Amino acid sequence: MMKPWKAVKRLLPLFVGLSLLLSACGREDLSVLRPQGPVAEGQLGLIKLAITIMVAVMLIVFGIAAYVWIKFRRKPGQNEIPKQVEGNFKLEVIWTAIPLVLVIILGVFTVQKVFAFGENYSSDKNAVKVKVTSHLFWWEFSYPDYGVTTAQDLIIPTGKKIALELKTADVLHSFWVPSLAGKTDTNTDGTINNAWFEASKEGVYLGKCAELCGPSHAFMEFKVKAVNQESFDNWVAAMKAPAVLPEDPAVAEVFKTQCLSCHAVGDQGLPVGPNLTGIGSREAIAGILLNAEGEGRPENGKPIRDNLVDWLKDPQGVKPGNKMPAPKEDLGLTDAEIEAIADYLADYKLTY
Ligand code: HEC
Ligand SMILES: [Cu+2]
């Protein structure tokens, strides 16, 4: 037989590996354990309540079991079968009633939160309404009350309810910002899901698509950037300003004919792909190439111009299966034109 310490030594790496795996290797920005707003806080509260009840039940049940194993062990020389007991009415009532009470406690708090967090605030005057549309593999955010549309970075004011109306443009995706709220699916049957959240503090919160949707599902990231009310108002005003186009007329012409057939900047272009207004101020390019100037995780980022060049030279390399044609191979741009457009987009910043 294996000695106990040998078994421990063999199993230790497994347990270390599993605990790393279960902690998602330390992606703190994707943790539900660091809530940054009331919805995520309430959801974490439910997790804590359930875990507390489960741990208490485990301790009591395992404690009684251990007591029984030791107390009623077969003693040396004891050969007769012990007295058989069954059908103790009092005990059976107790162990039916206790779990019932526990389940009722869990149920009452859960149902209460499910209704509170499923509340539709889209006609609330104090809430900021945002229409979220998921696309393979990017996120579109439009603000019907302000007449602006953006992509990848959802800009919100702190301390306000954000009333989300979620739908998809293609397949099933799921909207998830772990530090602000749980997941909400974007349905394929045309129905709209409502959800809301609120960010208590300014900051950049990582969001992810939480429904396997295709080859670049894992790259379908976005950011929620919470700013103060004044910055938010400035951002809206800057988004509504007339479009800024490349200064060089030849570059502007290429950009208008080859890019504005799918993208919009300011009041120009078409909304097939992500809106590019003020893309120079974004946290990331295509949601996944982190910009060094951004606030998200700058230590991992590259200068925005380099990210734009990486994307424009090989969009399929960055996000396999995405719907953007390759500027060089498919749209016939030269390297010089691609770099000129990258310069222009990197400089297209919004002050807010
Ligand atoms: C056929 C439509 C189409 C054309 C034409 C097109 N794009 Fe795109 N573009 C897209 C789509 C769709 C995406 C989103 C890809 C993804 O993230 O899955 C995208 C993404 C981008 C992004 C990243 C956007 C973001 O929010 O981070 C940039 C930058 C971009 N395109 C620039 C260009 C430029 C410059 C041109 C012209 C040379 C161009 N695109 C032409 C469809 C198009
Ligand atoms: Cu998705």
- Same domain? For 213 and 280 the reply is no
Number of structural domains (the chain) is 3
Q: Is residue 266 part of a domain?
A: yes
**Residue predicted with more confidence, 26 or 93:** 93
Q: Is residue 24 part of a domain?
A: no
- Does the pLDDT value for residue 28 go beyond 70? no
Q: Is residue 263 part of a domain?
A: yes
Q: Is residue 240 part of a domain?
A: no
- Same domain? For 157 and 202 the reply is yes
Domain that holds residue 176: 128-228
Predicted local distance difference test score (pLDDT) of residue 306 = 94
pLDDT tens digit sequence for 71-127: 988 888 888 888 888 888 998 999 899 999 999 999 999 999 999 998 999 899 999
- Same domain? For 103 and 139 the reply is no
Of 193, 228, 263, the domain-final residue:
228
Predicted local distance difference test score (pLDDT) of residue 25 = 55
- Same domain? For 275 and 311 the reply is yes
Q: Is residue 174 part of a domain?
A: yes
CA dihedral 38, 44, 48, 50 (to 10 degrees): 110
Shortest-distance ligand to the CA of residue 333 = 1
Identify which of 253, 177, 163 has the alpha carbon closest to the alpha carbon of residue 210: 177
Spacing of C-alpha 84 from chain mean position: 56
Predicted local distance difference test score (pLDDT) of residue 2 = 59
Question: Does residue 341 have its Cβ closer than 6 Å to ligand 1?
Answer: yes
Question: Does residue 327 have its Cβ closer than 6 Å to ligand 1?
Answer: yes
* CA dist list (Å): 125 to 35, 58, 128, 163, 192: 26, 47, 8, 11, 20
- Same domain? For 109 and 149 the reply is no
- Does the pLDDT value for residue 272 go beyond 90? yes
Kindly give the number of the ligand 1 atom that is closest to the alpha carbon of 341. 35
Q: Is residue 244 part of a domain?
A: no
Kindly give the number of the ligand 1 atom that is closest to the alpha carbon of 137. 18
Predicted confidence band of residue 29 (pLDDT cuts 50, 70, 90) = confident
- Does the pLDDT value for residue 190 go beyond 60? yes
Q: Is residue 74 part of a domain?
A: no
pLDDT tens digit sequence for 39-53: 999 999 999 999 999
CA of 324 from ligand 1 middle (Å) equals 5
Predicted local distance difference test score (pLDDT) of residue 26 = 55
- Does the pLDDT value for residue 316 go beyond 80? yes
pLDDT tens digit sequence for 119-177: 999 899 999 999 999 999 999 999 999 999 999 999 999 999 999 999 999 999 999 99
Question: Does residue 286 have its Cβ closer than 6 Å to ligand 1?
Answer: yes
Give the C-alpha separation, 37 to 201, whole Å.
8
Q: Is residue 352 part of a domain?
A: no
- Does the pLDDT value for residue 284 go beyond 90? yes
Q: Return the percent helix, strand and coil in the chain, to nearest 5.
A: 40, 20, 40
Question: Does residue 209 have its Cβ closer than 6 Å to ligand 1?
Answer: no
- Does the pLDDT value for residue 281 go beyond 70? yes
- Same domain? For 107 and 150 the reply is no
Predicted local distance difference test score (pLDDT) of residue 7 = 82
Predicted local distance difference test score (pLDDT) of residue 236 = 97
- Same domain? For 107 and 143 the reply is no
Q: Report the percentage of the chain scoring pLDDT > 70.
A: 95
